[in-house]
Amino acid sequence: MTGFGSTRSLEILPLIDWYTNDENLMFEAGVSYLIRTDQNTILFDVGYNPKQMDPSPLLHNMDCLGITLDEIDTIFISHNHPDHVGGMHFMRRKSFSLTSRQIPLHQKMVYTPIPMTYPHVNPVCAENPTVIAKGVASIGAIPTQLFFLGWTPEQALACLVDGKGIVLIVGCGHQTLPKIIARTEALFREPIYGIVGGLHYPVTGGREKFLGIPIEKYVGTGKVPWHPITMREVRDNIQLLKTREPQLVALSAHDSCDASLSMFRDSFQEAYKDMKVGESIVI
């Protein structure tokens, strides 16, 4: 993929994730990131809102951080899971929502990994690699067969930053890191400068329990429940990523356990950034 331009600036501001240092902000086991480039402001996923509150934790945090819907020109949905589309209710309808009611999104571009709908909007299905904005592209949907959740195509965002390379932004990471790297390197000549977001390493447990069972450990890794993901696999993924010498690594805590976060932090040292709601990662 060439000729889609680049951006000098890139800022990734977690609006929803599992950790925050600011007691005024809400956190949950979901994802929503605000991405600012030279020319565009992209909302990457729309959080979980499991209690279907209105305003949702996402809208609450946007309000606290002084972000208005008007400044967002593009909405990017990584995959159709409840923690990324604003709840189970919207996932079942193959739709999404920023709060418990679907607020008007006139004039916004919307990109989804499978055909999805939204009132008075025509989302673009980015099943194949798709240019989204200047210096920003979807690497295209990569499907994974999940044991409980079934066939799950997920797309990640690639931002080409001037003089640095590709910064990948990932939702849950069901595609698996090796496939994300392989797809990125097949599409772009530039090196992988960084990777930010969820990669799904819930080895010691997940953030959510259902009937006392840490469900993320058994749901979503693409493995059978009787052989859940191990620390060895996390270590192998880290080794693979290290061969690319990334200058920025930030792992979302929404679908990885603290032991995996620690291993990433120790492995990438100063290149590693914690992802916290309300704290921008600026490249």
Site residues, Zn ion (CB under 5 A): 81, 83, 172, 255
What are the tokens at 119?
Answer: 């009132």
User: Minimum distance from CB of 9 to Zn ion (Å)?
Assistant: 27
User: Minimum distance from CB of 107 to Zn ion (Å)?
Assistant: 28
Q: Which phi and psi angles does 180 have, rounded to 5°?
A: -65, -45
- The bridge status of strand 109-112 relative to strand 130-133 is unpaired
Nearer to Zn ion (CB atom), residue 28 or residue 83:
83
Nearer to Zn ion (CB atom), residue 158 or residue 172:
172
Residues 247/275, Cβ–Cβ less than 8 Å: no
Helix axes 231-242, 177-187, angle to 10 degrees: 20
Nearer to Zn ion (CB atom), residue 161 or residue 180:
180
Nearer to Zn ion (CB atom), residue 133 or residue 234:
234
What are the tokens at 216?
Answer: 């993320």
Nearer to Zn ion (CB atom), residue 33 or residue 188:
33
User: Minimum distance from CB of 198 to Zn ion (Å)?
Assistant: 5
Residues 165/191, Cβ–Cβ less than 8 Å: yes
User: Minimum distance from CB of 52 to Zn ion (Å)?
Assistant: 18
What are the tokens at 80?
Answer: 């159709």
- The bridge status of strand 248-251 relative to strand 192-197 is parallel
Count of C-beta atoms within a 10 Å radius of residue 214: 17
Q: Which phi and psi angles does 88 have, rounded to 5°?
A: -60, -40
User: Minimum distance from CB of 3 to Zn ion (Å)?
Assistant: 32
User: Minimum distance from CB of 29 to Zn ion (Å)?
Assistant: 7
User: Minimum distance from CB of 86 to Zn ion (Å)?
Assistant: 12
- CA torsion sign, 2 to 157 to 145 to 231? positive
What are the tokens at 229?
Answer: 């993901």
CA distances from 273 to 25, 59, 92, 162, 263 (A): 19, 25, 34, 21, 13
Nearer to Zn ion (CB atom), residue 194 or residue 197:
197
Residues 259/204, Cβ–Cβ less than 8 Å: yes
Nearer to Zn ion (CB atom), residue 207 or residue 273:
207
